[in-house]
Protein backbone atom coordinates (compact mmCIF):
# COMPACT_ATOMS: atom_id res chain seq x y z
CA UNK A 1 0.00 0.00 0.00
CA UNK A 2 1.15 3.52 -0.71
CA UNK A 3 0.82 6.15 1.97
CA UNK A 4 0.33 9.83 1.32
CA UNK A 5 -0.65 12.65 3.64
CA UNK A 6 -2.10 15.91 2.36
CA UNK A 7 -2.31 18.80 4.79
CA UNK A 8 -3.93 22.01 3.69
CA UNK A 9 -2.19 25.20 4.68
CA UNK A 10 -3.51 26.83 7.85
CA UNK A 11 -2.26 30.18 6.61
CA UNK A 12 -4.33 29.92 3.43
CA UNK A 13 -7.42 28.85 5.35
CA UNK A 14 -7.04 31.38 8.15
CA UNK A 15 -8.64 34.07 6.03
CA UNK A 16 -11.64 31.84 5.34
CA UNK A 17 -12.71 31.45 8.94
CA UNK A 18 -14.84 33.82 10.99
CA UNK A 19 -14.67 33.60 14.82
CA UNK A 20 -18.36 34.14 15.67
CA UNK A 21 -20.48 30.99 16.10
CA UNK A 22 -23.06 30.49 13.42
CA UNK A 23 -26.64 29.81 14.32
CA UNK A 24 -26.07 26.48 12.67
CA UNK A 25 -27.74 23.14 12.78
CA UNK A 26 -25.15 21.17 10.90
CA UNK A 27 -21.49 20.91 10.04
CA UNK A 28 -21.50 19.19 6.64
CA UNK A 29 -18.62 17.26 5.13
CA UNK A 30 -18.83 16.50 1.43
CA UNK A 31 -16.55 13.56 0.67
CA UNK A 32 -15.75 12.02 -2.70
CA UNK A 33 -14.70 8.39 -3.11
CA UNK A 34 -13.13 8.41 -6.60
CA UNK A 35 -13.74 5.73 -9.22
CA UNK A 36 -10.45 3.90 -9.73
CA UNK A 37 -9.51 1.76 -12.69
CA UNK A 38 -7.85 -1.20 -10.98
CA UNK A 39 -7.94 -4.97 -11.43
CA UNK A 40 -9.33 -5.67 -7.95
CA UNK A 41 -11.44 -2.95 -6.35
CA UNK A 42 -12.57 -2.93 -2.72
CA UNK A 43 -14.56 -0.10 -1.16
CA UNK A 44 -12.32 1.85 1.21
CA UNK A 45 -12.57 1.90 4.96
CA UNK A 46 -12.84 5.55 6.05
CA UNK A 47 -12.41 7.22 9.43
CA UNK A 48 -13.43 10.80 10.14
CA UNK A 49 -12.35 12.41 13.39
CA UNK A 50 -11.48 15.65 15.15
CA UNK A 51 -7.97 16.22 16.50
CA UNK A 52 -5.95 19.00 18.09
CA UNK A 53 -3.15 20.68 16.08
CA UNK A 54 -0.64 18.37 17.81
CA UNK A 55 -2.59 15.35 16.44
CA UNK A 56 -4.30 14.25 19.66
CA UNK A 57 -7.68 12.69 18.87
CA UNK A 58 -10.64 14.54 20.37
CA UNK A 59 -13.59 12.60 18.96
CA UNK A 60 -14.37 10.07 16.24
CA UNK A 61 -17.20 11.29 14.02
CA UNK A 62 -17.61 8.23 11.76
CA UNK A 63 -15.95 4.94 10.84
CA UNK A 64 -17.00 3.36 7.55
CA UNK A 65 -16.26 -0.35 7.32
CA UNK A 66 -17.77 -3.79 6.62
CA UNK A 67 -19.14 -4.44 10.08
CA UNK A 68 -21.00 -7.56 8.95
CA UNK A 69 -18.60 -9.09 6.48
CA UNK A 70 -20.36 -12.36 5.58
CA UNK A 71 -20.23 -13.61 9.15
CA UNK A 72 -16.72 -12.28 9.75
CA UNK A 73 -15.87 -9.19 11.73
CA UNK A 74 -14.75 -6.50 9.28
CA UNK A 75 -13.44 -4.50 12.25
CA UNK A 76 -10.34 -6.70 12.03
CA UNK A 77 -9.08 -4.49 9.19
CA UNK A 78 -9.83 -1.14 10.84
CA UNK A 79 -6.21 -1.10 11.96
CA UNK A 80 -5.33 -0.38 8.30
CA UNK A 81 -6.61 3.14 9.03
CA UNK A 82 -3.30 3.56 10.82
CA UNK A 83 -3.43 7.13 12.11
CA UNK A 84 -7.01 6.90 13.36
CA UNK A 85 -6.46 3.42 14.80
CA UNK A 86 -3.43 4.51 16.84
CA UNK A 87 -5.01 7.72 18.08
CA UNK A 88 -8.62 6.68 18.75
CA UNK A 89 -9.93 3.57 17.01
CA UNK A 90 -8.43 0.80 19.12
CA UNK A 91 -10.01 2.22 22.27
CA UNK A 92 -13.56 2.24 20.86
CA UNK A 93 -16.19 -0.45 21.27
CA UNK A 94 -17.32 -1.14 17.71
CA UNK A 95 -19.74 -1.37 16.07
CA UNK A 96 -21.29 1.75 17.57
CA UNK A 97 -24.67 3.16 16.56
CA UNK A 98 -23.19 6.65 16.86
CA UNK A 99 -20.23 6.29 14.48
CA UNK A 100 -20.38 3.00 12.54
CA UNK A 101 -21.41 3.31 8.91
CA UNK A 102 -21.09 0.91 5.97
CA UNK A 103 -18.34 1.35 3.38
CA UNK A 104 -19.29 3.37 0.31
CA UNK A 105 -18.84 2.76 -3.41
CA UNK A 106 -17.38 5.51 -5.64
CA UNK A 107 -19.41 8.70 -5.52
CA UNK A 108 -19.84 11.91 -3.56
CA UNK A 109 -21.40 11.74 -0.10
CA UNK A 110 -22.49 14.33 2.41
CA UNK A 111 -22.31 13.57 6.10
CA UNK A 112 -23.84 15.97 8.61
CA UNK A 113 -22.91 16.51 12.22
CA UNK A 114 -24.90 18.63 14.63
CA UNK A 115 -23.08 21.78 15.72
CA UNK A 116 -25.32 21.95 18.79
CA UNK A 117 -24.93 18.43 20.16
CA UNK A 118 -22.39 15.62 20.03
CA UNK A 119 -18.72 16.01 19.14
CA UNK A 120 -18.86 19.58 17.78
CA UNK A 121 -21.01 20.88 20.64
CA UNK A 122 -18.43 19.54 23.11
CA UNK A 123 -15.49 21.37 21.49
CA UNK A 124 -13.96 24.31 23.30
CA UNK A 125 -13.14 27.33 21.17
CA UNK A 126 -9.82 26.87 19.42
CA UNK A 127 -7.84 25.30 16.60
CA UNK A 128 -8.60 21.76 15.40
CA UNK A 129 -8.31 19.50 12.38
CA UNK A 130 -11.13 17.47 10.89
CA UNK A 131 -9.25 14.43 9.61
CA UNK A 132 -10.37 12.04 6.89
CA UNK A 133 -8.37 8.83 6.39
CA UNK A 134 -9.12 6.17 3.78
CA UNK A 135 -7.50 2.77 3.24
CA UNK A 136 -8.39 0.13 0.72
CA UNK A 137 -7.59 -3.58 0.59
CA UNK A 138 -5.22 -4.19 -2.34
CA UNK A 139 -5.01 -0.43 -2.64
CA UNK A 140 -3.58 2.67 -1.10
CA UNK A 141 -4.05 4.85 1.92
CA UNK A 142 -4.63 8.59 2.11
CA UNK A 143 -5.09 11.06 4.95
CA UNK A 144 -6.27 14.66 4.66
CA UNK A 145 -6.47 17.25 7.43
CA UNK A 146 -8.90 20.16 7.19
CA UNK A 147 -7.78 22.79 9.74
CA UNK A 148 -10.62 24.69 11.40
CA UNK A 149 -11.01 27.37 14.03
CA UNK A 150 -13.95 26.45 16.23
CA UNK A 151 -16.56 27.75 16.37
CA UNK A 152 -16.99 28.21 12.64
CA UNK A 153 -18.47 31.56 11.80
CA UNK A 154 -21.71 32.41 10.06
CA UNK A 155 -21.19 32.73 6.34
CA UNK A 156 -17.69 31.23 6.38
CA UNK A 157 -16.25 29.99 3.11
CA UNK A 158 -16.19 26.19 2.86
CA UNK A 159 -12.87 24.58 3.74
CA UNK A 160 -11.80 22.45 0.80
CA UNK A 161 -9.07 20.01 -0.18
CA UNK A 162 -8.44 17.61 -3.03
CA UNK A 163 -7.17 14.08 -2.53
CA UNK A 164 -4.93 12.37 -5.04
CA UNK A 165 -5.69 8.66 -4.77
CA UNK A 166 -8.16 7.15 -2.30
CA UNK A 167 -10.03 10.41 -1.65
CA UNK A 168 -11.32 13.00 -4.10
CA UNK A 169 -12.79 16.43 -3.42
CA UNK A 170 -13.51 17.33 0.22
CA UNK A 171 -15.48 20.28 1.53
CA UNK A 172 -16.44 21.23 5.10
CA UNK A 173 -19.09 23.88 5.70
CA UNK A 174 -21.78 25.02 8.12
CA UNK A 175 -25.42 24.86 7.07
CA UNK A 176 -27.42 27.52 8.87
CA UNK A 177 -30.99 27.18 10.01
The contacts of residue 60 (CB under 8 Å, 6+ apart) are 47, 48, 49, 84, 88, 89, 92, 99, 119
pLDDT at 7 over 50: no
pLDDT value, residue 75:
82
The most confident of the ranges 12-26, 69-83, 160-174 is: 160-174
Q: Which domain holds residue 108?
A: 3-176
pLDDT at 5 over 60: no
pLDDT at 54 over 50: yes
The residues facing 126 across adjacent strands are: 150
pLDDT value, residue 49:
98
Q: pLDDT, tens digit, for every residue of 97-141? A: 889 999 999 999 999 999 888 899 989 999 999 999 999 988 899
pTM recorded for the entire structure = 0.83
How many helices (H) and strands (E) are present in the chain, helices listed first? 2, 10
How many Å apart are CA 167 and CA 177, to the nearest integer? 29
Contact between 153 and 19 under an 8 Å Cβ cutoff? The reply is yes
Please give the DSSP secondary-structure letter assigned to residue 72. B
Q: pLDDT, tens digit, for every residue of 13-50? A: 333 333 334 444 689 999 999 999 988 888 999 999 99
Q: How far is CA 19 from the centre of its chain?
A: 22
Percent of the chain with pLDDT over 70: 81
pLDDT band at 157 (very low <50, low <70, confident <90, very high): confident
The most confident of the ranges 3-12, 92-101, 122-131, 146-155 is: 122-131
Q: Number of structural domains, the chain?
A: 1
The contacts of residue 11 (CB under 8 Å, 6+ apart) are none
- Looking up residue 13, the CATH number of its domain turns out to be 2.60.40
How many Å apart are CA 10 and CA 39, to the nearest integer? 37
Amino acid sequence: MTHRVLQTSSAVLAGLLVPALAQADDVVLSLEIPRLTVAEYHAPYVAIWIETPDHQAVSTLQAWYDYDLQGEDGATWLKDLRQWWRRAGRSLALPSDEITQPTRTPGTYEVSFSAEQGAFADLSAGEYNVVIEAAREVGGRELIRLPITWPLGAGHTPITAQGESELGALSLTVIED
